[in-house]
Structure 1
Amino acid sequence: MSVRKRKWKTKSGAAREAWFVDYTDQHGVRVGKQFAKKKDADAFAASTHTEVRQSSHIADYATKTVKQAGEKWLKRAEESLEVMTVKQYEQHLRLHILPFLGDHKLTRITVPVVREFMDKLRDAGRSPAMVKSIRTSLSGILAEAQERGWSNQNAVRDMSQGRKGRESKGDKRRKAKLVVGRDIPTREEIQKVIAQLNKPDAAYRQLIITAIFTGMRASELRGLRWDDIDFARKEITVRQRADATNDMGPPKSEAGQRTIEMAPMVINTLKDWKDKCPKGELGLVFPTQKGTVQRHENIVRRGLWEPQIAAGLTKQKVLRTEGRVPLLKDGKEQLVTVAKYEGLHALRHFFASWCLNPMSLGGQGKNPMEVQKELGHSTIALTMDTYGHLFKKTKNDGALARAEAALLKPVTATQTQHAG
């Protein structure tokens, strides 16, 4: 293992110099690597010396490219993950990772390289949330490469570990709590939506009413069967869900299989709908006219967006391309009017807030454990992380002072004997 300075001239006669590390790896192959700075060459030589002795070193000639590792990572995902998750991974790889890093050798993917890659994504118009999601996919690719012996480092994990304890302002913003009126519909807004749904020509009325008063996930509503509804007991039992490709499967977790009490409006709405509901082999409550599974996009556009827009619940949104780059016209971002709450999950958030709000505010006054069961969360921690800030703290004027007085009150001999 040697570190030496090299000087040479280019074809144009310009003088160049660099630090060169010359070594023989554990396979007996002589390898050379060049660095601009001596400190970088020394650091590489020191770590490589140890890796060669431990037979864990991977030289540039023995590694693969990010593209090759990405293909293997995607193939493994296809074997174990849902179709839409795989589709998202494929888009991350094709649209965002390969254009910037596809031909890079895995051994050259360092923390500075990853940091520069993330900067380029932002400069190209990707949102902070998208950049974070792409970074996670890149970490998965590098982990795949490690398992295959193509690399001995994961620069994304190294970067994350180095950032622990100094969370950025952007990270804090992305962890911002859900806000009523921004992320969660208010009681008045839900009333306006229901008023629009009560019109004769309202599309998906039965489904949206059920979503508001049960907090069921979109996939659970699309997979709901009449056999899962017990009108006598006033209950809905969640037993299955429809994924993005309309295939039926179990709920997201074991806790997702649950029983939900039906509010009177849900009971009356579904009883009236049962005879009119299109029939199909699947026995679905909210099917298409042919009795098949509804497309999620249709439910959102017609069932969720239309009543909001009719009620004046709208916002302006920047039009973007598939790569999340804003569309410009005369140098200005193009805007479009959309529904204030764009996804069905907003109704699930509303249901959660309705469960935990006190009765004096039109809520049900349930405790965190009850809300967890209603929503089908796998852990109470998930419920509290998402909605804990919405639980109303009960005030008992004078309770703290009375507790302090009781604590400081002299203890009698009789009380001491009982305590023992």
Structure 2
Amino acid sequence: MANIRKVKQRPRQDGSVKVSWRATWTGHDGARQSKNFDLKGDAKVWLNSVSAGLVGGSSSMTLEQLAEAHIANFHGLVRAGARRSGTVDNYQSILDTHVRPHKIAKTKLSALRTPDFQSFLDDVVQAGGSINLARQIRGCFVTWCRFGARRGWLLANLAQACAVEGDRENAESEPFELPPKEHLSALMKAATESENAERDTAIIRILMFGGLRISEALGLADEAVIVKTTGGRLKVRERLDRTHQTLDPPKTGKGKRDVPIGQAAALAIRSWRLKRGPSRPFHHVNGRRERSLVAGRLFPNPKTGDGVWSYEDFIRDGWMPLMRSAGLVLMLPDSKGKNRPHAAFKPHMLRHVAVSLWLAQAPQPKPKKVQELVGHATLKMTMDTYGHLWRDEEEDDAIAQASERLIS
């Protein structure tokens, strides 16, 4: 919060009263700062400079230099084991590919304003970039400015107020549509009839009824899957990084969770284990770039029998053949007019299907329980994603009828 107010001093002996102008600014840490000026115009100039985030000593630093300083610091955190290499690579990619070629990279922090960041994000979307790309760039801007504030180079996070136009509106107005039940049944049937029926049935049931992310399913250690004749439990403790093929912990603490599975899924896993044979430990380089011996995976690389099954190989050799067998692949033209195969939905859709099946039960699980099972960091994230599935038309009608009776 910033303001300028007139300050009257005590009357002098000759009866005159001196007037000054006090500009006050609240920094990012909540500390109030103020400075007196003889002229109101000088106070405005100072306040505009401070509100823009300028701190003495950073006037020559550019946005590009700020980003490089943050990335260098992040590399140190990776070496210390406090952060993951995949994250810092993403920062570097955004900087090199999207920010560095633009004039905003060479702009000094003293000249940057929030509208500069907003204009950049708007240009990304208008030039054909995806909403997701613009969201990632905004996240980098916010992180870099927050880093600068912690170092004393900025007093305010200039990018925090920016938004990706259309992002939140589209997410709320157009919730995802679940596949028809006949499509899901066809996928299950294709899994049971495939050449690798035991493996495919096990992984489809884990995704469809356990609600795991595909990175979590591919990263499951064999020893983290406990099955009994009546059901089982999946101990989600690792995920497979799609880019680097490293086994990393979940991104948030809530991602570490135990997920119950039913009898059919447990039996499918037992059948797959009998077909696969004992899991084999293997040497692996993790996200901290450390080489160590790790436990075998539930779904190892089909070509070698150990190691990890990459996302790209899973899509090519596992998912797409199943979708073709189920009749759920369409040939659609790409940007050059050449027909390409497109699956009716991606593996992540089965995570949404799992939640919808939980909510179809009576009584419905509470939102907090759903958050726990899907591993969302916050309840808000769960409600933003699945809130529309809690709609009950009969309950809505009852509320409307009861409201009318209160007046009539």
For normalisation by structure 1, the TM-score amounts to 0.68
- Residue 75 of structure 1 pairs with residue 72 of structure 2: yes
Q: Which amino acid aligns with 1:212?
A: M
How far, CA to CA, are the matches of 1:340 and 1:405 in structure 2? 44
Q: CA deviation at 1:51?
A: 8.6
Please, which of 349, 362, 378 is the counterpart of residue 346 of structure 1?
349
Tell whether the 8 Å contact from 1:139 to 1:157 is kept in structure 2 after alignment. Answer: yes
Distance of aligned partners of 1:43 and 1:139 in 2 relative to their CA distance in 1, 3 Å threshold: farther
- Residue 305 of structure 1 pairs with residue 320 of structure 2: yes
Q: CA deviation at 1:351?
A: 0.6
How far, CA to CA, are the matches of 2:43 and 2:215 in structure 1? 54
Q: CA deviation at 1:403?
A: 6.9
Q: CA deviation at 1:310?
A: 3.4
Q: 1:10-409, aligned counterparts within 5 Å?
A: 45-49=42-46, 58=55, 62-78=59-75, 79=77, 80-100=82-102, 101-159=104-162, 169=166, 171-180=168-177, 184-202=178-196, 204-205=199-200, 206-227=202-223, 228-232=225-229, 234-244=231-241, 245-278=244-277, 279-281=279-281, 282-288=295-301, 289-314=304-329, 329=336, 336-342=340-346, 344-358=347-361, 365-393=364-392, 395=394
How far, CA to CA, are the matches of 1:298 and 1:388 in structure 2? 33
How far, CA to CA, are the matches of 1:151 and 1:398 in structure 2? 53
How far, CA to CA, are the matches of 2:219 and 2:344 in structure 1? 26
Tell whether the 8 Å contact from 1:51 to 1:57 is kept in structure 2 after alignment. Answer: no
How far, CA to CA, are the matches of 1:174 and 1:403 in structure 2? 32
Q: Which amino acid aligns with 2:127?
A: A
Unaligned 5+ residue runs, structure 1?
A: 1-41, 161-166, 320-326, 409-420
How far, CA to CA, are the matches of 2:68 and 2:380 in structure 1? 36
Deviations 1:146-191 (A, max 9, x none): 333334444323556xxxxxx95554014445332xxx33321111
Unaligned 5+ residue runs, structure 2?
A: 1-38, 282-294
How far, CA to CA, are the matches of 1:154 and 1:226 in structure 2? 44
Distance of aligned partners of 1:109 and 1:290 in 2 relative to their CA distance in 1, 3 Å threshold: same
How far, CA to CA, are the matches of 2:141 and 2:269 in structure 1? 46
CA root-mean-square deviation: 3.8
Helix, strand or coil at the partner of 1:75: helix
Q: Which amino acid aligns with 2:325?
A: A
Helix, strand or coil at the partner of 1:102: helix
How far, CA to CA, are the matches of 2:44 and 2:154 in structure 1? 14
Name the % identity. 24
Larger radius of gyration between Structure 1 and Structure 2:
1
Q: CA deviation at 1:214?
A: 1.3
Q: CA deviation at 1:211?
A: 1.4
Q: Which amino acid aligns with 2:68?
A: E
Q: CA deviation at 1:350?
A: 0.7
How far, CA to CA, are the matches of 1:355 and 1:72 in structure 2? 46
Helix, strand or coil at the partner of 2:233: strand
Helix, strand or coil at the partner of 1:125: coil
Helix, strand or coil at the partner of 2:299: coil
Q: CA deviation at 1:253?
A: 4.1
Number of aligned pairs?
Answer: 342
Tell whether the 8 Å contact from 2:229 to 2:267 is kept in structure 1 after alignment. Answer: no
How far, CA to CA, are the matches of 1:138 and 1:154 in structure 2? 9
Deviations 1:225-249 (A, max 9, x none): 3433131452113142133144445
Q: Which amino acid aligns with 1:372?
A: Q
For normalisation by structure 2, the TM-score amounts to 0.70
Q: Which amino acid aligns with 1:132?
A: R
How far, CA to CA, are the matches of 2:398 and 2:121 in structure 1? 52
Distance of aligned partners of 1:150 and 1:44 in 2 relative to their CA distance in 1, 3 Å threshold: farther
Distance of aligned partners of 1:318 and 1:52 in 2 relative to their CA distance in 1, 3 Å threshold: same
Distance of aligned partners of 1:257 and 1:302 in 2 relative to their CA distance in 1, 3 Å threshold: same
Tell whether the 8 Å contact from 1:177 to 1:389 is kept in structure 2 after alignment. Answer: no
Q: Which amino acid aligns with 1:148?
A: R
Distance of aligned partners of 1:318 and 1:395 in 2 relative to their CA distance in 1, 3 Å threshold: same
